[in-house]
Structure 1
Amino acid sequence: MNEEYDVIVLGTGLTECILSGIMSVKGKKVLHMDRNSYYGGESASITPLEDLYKRFNIPGTPPESMGKGRDWNVDLIPKFLMANGQLVRMLLITEVTRYLDFKVVEGSYVYKKGSIYKVPSTETEALASSLMGLFEKRRFKKFLGFVSNFDQNDPKTLDGVDPNKTTMRDVYKKFDLGQDVIDFTGHSLALYRTDEYLDEPCLDSVNRIKLYSESLARYGKSPYLYPLYGLGELPQGFARLSAIYGGIYMLNKPIEEIIVEDGKVVGVKSEGEIARCKQLICDPSYMMDRANKVGQVIRAICVMSHPIKNTNDVNSCQIIIPQNQVNRKHDIYVCMVSCAHNVAAKGKYVAIISTTVETNEPEKELKPALDLLEPIEQKFVSTSDLYAPTDMGTDSQIFISRSYDATTHFETTCDDIKDIFKRMTGTDFDFGDINRKQNDIFGDAE
């Protein structure tokens, strides 16, 4: 403990573990501590099932029908990985993929007037989809063609659209798309949580739809991937990367004090010892006085013995309930995985619902999603405050991550990682920077 480090990291959430891995690969001396006895912090997967019951204060032990407690790895935060997204790039470049196995999520669905429909994301699917009438299909097909050819640096592909000025609302108008199609395009393909994007320049929206289509093109069933044994495997994979490059890990370490002198972090005190550092990375729970509450998320983990109705009995899927369909400001998401992913006992399914809280009765806000899942055997509901740092670290050299939001993919988490990286190093995040050396000195033979 009584040593000097370049970077001390507190908390083993995914954001912290990826940054710790990147800093180690870049040759920094890293000490990584967590007050918990398990990896993952807020983004952990809980095993055995008994621990999940305890965590949510559910009396008694899980019934025998739930199978062996050890067969369960239940995510606290539901997320999937976009096959062509930033996190997958980070995993591939750092070769953390060596420690993980992934499955493609089998389907992506959208809610319309009380029913769910498969999200059409290719021109062929668009023509077959019952979400749209015949003429609408043709217009949507043209729109998808425009998006896939779109290149902001090639005026010939822009069809008169100015990527930095034309709003997305105007692009939809140009293709004469109706409200229902706008709903599922903005929320199920571009994955926006609200409708604020409609009046902003269309560049970001078009790129998001492109990311969805390119991710889908990689594996075909859906654009999403999910790691076997749960999302808790991700932080552990990056922690292992950090350890290979000399990062030191300590779980179960109570953090007594973060020592700041003249406005700048100089070290961390734990169990009477002080480890010194030049920079500190932590999640908001370690520095509440330097973070601000920016909202709340409600999540419900639901255990079932059946797949979700009207999904062709798939083992995994995502369902998006666009806010307009249920008179809300934010979408509701459902992520379902099952025993096929080694996260539940045989024959069991785990669906996690999440949304941004809008009222004083958050659980009632989940009703449209809960209705899709009936019958539910056991439900674990939690409401979490979302925090963002008020201290950007310029002077203090303390870099605090943002809480995990209600989105069901890791793109916003990766944006936060890139933002912290830039504030720490003064340079833009470059995926090439995190290439592993050909011959890792710390051996990784197995």
Structure 2
Amino acid sequence: MPEFDVIVLGTGLKECVLSGLMSVNGKKVLHMDSNPYYGGESASISPLEELYKRFQVSAPSTSMGCGKDWNVDLIPKFLLANGPLVKMLLYTEVTRYLDFKVIEGSFVYKGGKLQNLMGMFDKRRFRKFMSFVLNFEEKDPRTHHDMDPHRTTMRDVFRHFDLGDDVVEVTGHALALHVNDDYLEQLCLMTINRIKLYSESLARYSLSPFLYPLFGLGELPQGFVR
């Protein structure tokens, strides 16, 4: 009877990541799932009829075409190109089994239209702010511009660089990806690191900082268990 170092139950993303990492580090892993598909709650469902069956609704309309042409993510989510998950995919060599598409652009939609929110002076101030972010090192006070990241709120950082309200809104929500304004009264370190990650991800492919698996997020769990 075969012996294993680790038994992993379920093929959700976190289970598959753990399985892949342990396998790469020399562990003999038995990976099991009672479902007929990979991914758990982060699966990509195909054909379309399976999605309708999962949610116990009537069959899709014939106007939607062939069910096999659909691949629906239960939890759609973009990946930052320089984020920890992409680094993990590279480390475990899972990228050999996956194809990615660079999202062609990201935009700010406000007031019923796409916005160009920065005038000439805003751009100058924002450029100085971004230079500060990209050069920022938590353990190097010379990069802090006399602001202690463990005492200074993000609102105070924006004030330091005299950024306008529209620029602050774009920076906080489109770059740092905060879902509300609570971050403004919180310490600045987390938001600075988020903006830095966005900028580093954008630098990798120029068009956009975001990647998406070509055949859906359900490919990620499958890649880790191959």
TM-score where L is the length of structure 1: 0.48
Q: CA offset at residue 21 of structure 1?
A: 1.0
For 2:106, the equivalent position in structure 1 comes to: 108
Q: 2 CA distance for matches of 1:151 and 1:214?
A: 14
Residue 212 of structure 2 aligns with an amino acid whose one-letter code is Y
Q: CA offset at residue 61 of structure 1?
A: 3.3
Q: CA offset at residue 94 of structure 1?
A: 1.0
For 2:164, the equivalent position in structure 1 comes to: 178
| Structure showing the higher strand proportion among its residues | 1
List per-residue Cα deviations over 1:232-262 (Å, max 9, x = no partner): 111000011xxxxxxxxxxxxxxxxxxxxxx
List per-residue Cα deviations over 1:107-156 (Å, max 9, x = no partner): 11223223334xxxxxxxxxxxx213333232222211221222223333
Q: CA offset at residue 53 of structure 1?
A: 2.2
Residue 35 of structure 1 aligns with an amino acid whose one-letter code is S
State the number of aligned residues: 226
Residue 189 of structure 2 corresponds to residue 191 of structure 1: no
Residue 105 of structure 1 aligns with an amino acid whose one-letter code is I
Residue 61 of structure 2 corresponds to residue 62 of structure 1: yes
For 1:132, the equivalent position in structure 2 comes to: 118
Residue 214 of structure 2 corresponds to residue 216 of structure 1: no
For 1:87, the equivalent position in structure 2 comes to: 85
For 2:9, the equivalent position in structure 1 comes to: 10
Q: 1 CA distance for matches of 2:108 and 2:91?
A: 33
Structure 2 counterparts to residues 237-316 of structure 1, below 5 A: 237-240=223-226
Q: 2 CA distance for matches of 1:95 and 1:143?
A: 36
For 2:135, the equivalent position in structure 1 comes to: 149
Q: Please, which runs of 5 or more residues in structure 1 have no aligned partner?
A: 118-129, 241-446
Q: 2 CA distance for matches of 1:152 and 1:233?
A: 36
| Structure showing the higher helix proportion among its residues | 2
Could you tell me whether the CA contact under 8 Å between 1:99 and 1:237 is conserved in 2?
yes
TM-score where L is the length of structure 2: 0.92
Q: 1 CA distance for matches of 2:64 and 2:128?
A: 48
Could you tell me whether the CA contact under 8 Å between 1:44 and 1:76 is conserved in 2?
yes
Residue 75 of structure 1 aligns with an amino acid whose one-letter code is D
> In structure 1, which of residues 48, 68, 71 is the aligned counterpart of residue 69 of structure 2?
71
RMSD after superposition: 1.8
Give the share of equivalent positions with the same residue, in percent.
69
For 1:168, the equivalent position in structure 2 comes to: 154
Structure 2 counterparts to residues 344-363 of structure 1, below 5 A: none
Q: 1:4 to 1:193 in 2, by over 3 A?
A: farther
Larger RCO, structures 1/2 (Cα 8 Å, 6+ apart): 2
Could you tell me whether the CA contact under 8 Å between 1:147 and 1:210 is conserved in 2?
yes
For 1:43, the equivalent position in structure 2 comes to: 42
Could you tell me whether the CA contact under 8 Å between 2:49 and 2:67 is conserved in 1?
yes
After TM superposition, what 4+ stretches of structure 1 lie above 3 angstroms from structure 2? 2-6
Could you tell me whether the CA contact under 8 Å between 2:80 and 2:86 is conserved in 1?
yes
Q: CA offset at residue 188 of structure 1?
A: 1.1
Could you tell me whether the CA contact under 8 Å between 2:49 and 2:59 is conserved in 1?
no
Q: CA offset at residue 202 of structure 1?
A: 1.3
Q: 2 CA distance for matches of 1:108 and 1:57?
A: 35
Could you tell me whether the CA contact under 8 Å between 1:50 and 1:62 is conserved in 2?
no
Q: CA offset at residue 180 of structure 1?
A: 2.3
Q: 1:195 to 1:3 in 2, by over 3 A?
A: farther
Residue 144 of structure 2 corresponds to residue 158 of structure 1: yes
Q: CA offset at residue 80 of structure 1?
A: 1.2
